[in-house]
Each structure stands twice: as structure tokens, then as C-alpha cells.
Amino acid sequence: MKTLKYWLAVPTTLAVLLTNIAGVRSQQQMALTPGFNDPMVLTGTSGDSNCGKMAATASHVITLGDNFSYLRFTVDSQGGQPILLIKGPNGSSSCVQSDKFSKSTITDSGYWMAGTYSFYIGDHTGSPRNYSLSITQQQ
């Protein structure tokens, strides 16, 4: 009976490990410096979340190689209610949620310091939604 119990643990452990590896592989990482090809558009599928509960792995990790006097990040979700959580350098974080006015498009813009930012993209509806994350230097 002990042997059977151990054999049941092996497939479960393997499934958990493979799931975690797949989550890491889906994360997009990139570096931006002033003068990048504008606009930069990244795509993905959002998850069920709110700003208090996001996925363990960021959807995108973007390293800004210099300060930007202006950047605008826009999430456009196809029919959903997107949430954008940005964790920045020095422990800073910002949460932007859709509302009845923004509907399926939300933005965060302004001055951005050099450093690494983790972007978590979720959706209030609880359903996975395709989205695009556009980055522009144009005001």
C-alpha cells in the first residue's frame, strides 16, 4: 500500500512542476530604450484576478534602460474588463482597473524611471481574454 501511495505522488508532482515551467515560459521579457520602434505591441491572454490577487508570474517584464519623460501603456482586452498591475523598481506598484467609461481599454502614462517593471494583466470577468499591450512614447 505504501508503494502505491508513493506512485500516486510522482505523477501529481510532475504535473505541478510542468505547470510551473509552462507559466515561466509564457512570460515575455524585453528591454526598452528611448527611440524604440513606436508603438511596441505585445499580446497575451489575461487571467482571473483583481489587484489584490494576481498570478504568481508576471505577463510581461520590461526593463527601461533609461528614464522616459513620457510613456503610455495601453491594455486593450477583447470584450473583457482588464486589470493592469505594474510592480516597479524600489517596490512601487500601480493598479489600473477598467470601469464603465474605459470598458475594455485602460491606460497608464507619465514619467517612467529606468528600471525593471513587472506587468500583470488580469480580467474582472474571471475568463481568460486575449489582450494587447501597446507601449508608446507619443503623447
So where are the chain's domains? 27-136
Q: Is the dihedral of CA 100, 102, 105, 107 positive or negative?
A: negative
Q: What is the pTM of this model?
A: 0.73
**What is the SS3 assignment for 132?**
strand
Report pLDDT for 39: 83
Report pLDDT for 19: 35
Report pLDDT for 114: 96
Report pLDDT for 110: 95
Weakly modelled stretches of the chain, pLDDT under 50: 3-25
Dist. CA 3–CA 45, nearest whole Å = 40
Report pLDDT for 33: 84
Fold of 27-136: Jelly Rolls (2.60.120)
